[in-house]
Copies of this chain bind each other. A is one copy, B any other.
């Protein structure tokens, strides 16, 4: 335990020490910043327990402080911990913050999963144009729970470190390796060069997921729910479909990811035992 656990009281929403927390919602619109906002106890716990991303400070609602004291005790000594009343926190954030647990994380230059560390990956999720933060977060949550080795994405996909994506992922964005490519073609090129077989999920897919025997190294390519994968991507992947009940043509993209990852996991390990 260090001084980081002796919190600094913030009483003025304009205090320059908490400038990074100001106007959180507007900040969401700026991509790829060095700093990102982690929100909620579960995400703070994951952030404090890993070393891939840094943590600059935490800002805690005063009546939530005791509840997160064990997490704050895990932080490096230099991390500033601020507390404030709910009025002050709401004024800082710009809207009512019911959760009252915030931190500023730091993106490091080497935080992206470097593709040259990828030799042991067997199952990766490759995302094309996933712009919805909830979907991005849910895909990472499912990737973590169902054992994907990494999540790759193109430049048209949203930033996984957006506040809401990070929150929906329950912190999985901080633990699952990920890498952003400039263009979907560059991502697929890299995957093929590195021995991955491409499998694109689509309601128009040629093969039924249930019949599919996953290859030794599989990249599961997912696109947006409406338009789905571009023809250009479909043309260079094996395409899989998930059988649906009559009259309903679409699952959420993160749910589709879960079904495919579950299938791959079962096929690879045999049905889980014990």
Contact = CB atoms under 8 A, between A and B. Distances in A.
Contact of A243 (B211, B254, B259, B272): B272
A115 interface: no
Contacts of A85: none
Interface stretch (A63-71, A75-83, A186-194, A244-252): A244-252
A244 B148 CA distance: 11
Contacts of A219: none
A176 to B, nearest CB: 9
B138 A271 contact: no
A190 B267 CA distance: 37
A87 B121 CA distance: 52
Contacts of A265: 243
A121 to B, nearest CB: 14
Contacts of A175: 247
A243 B141 CA distance: 14
Interface string A165-194: 000001010010000000000000000000
Interface string A140-151: 011011110000
Given A138-B255, A272-B210, A144 B266 contact: no
A141 B251 contact: yes
B144 A271 contact: no
Nearest to A273: B208
A262 interface: yes
Contacts of A55: none
A207 to B, nearest CB: 10
A258 interface: yes
A272 B208 contact: yes
A4 to B, nearest CB: 25
Given A172-B248, A175-B247, A259-B259, 5 more contacts: A142-B252, A142-B255, A146-B244, A208-B274, A210-B266
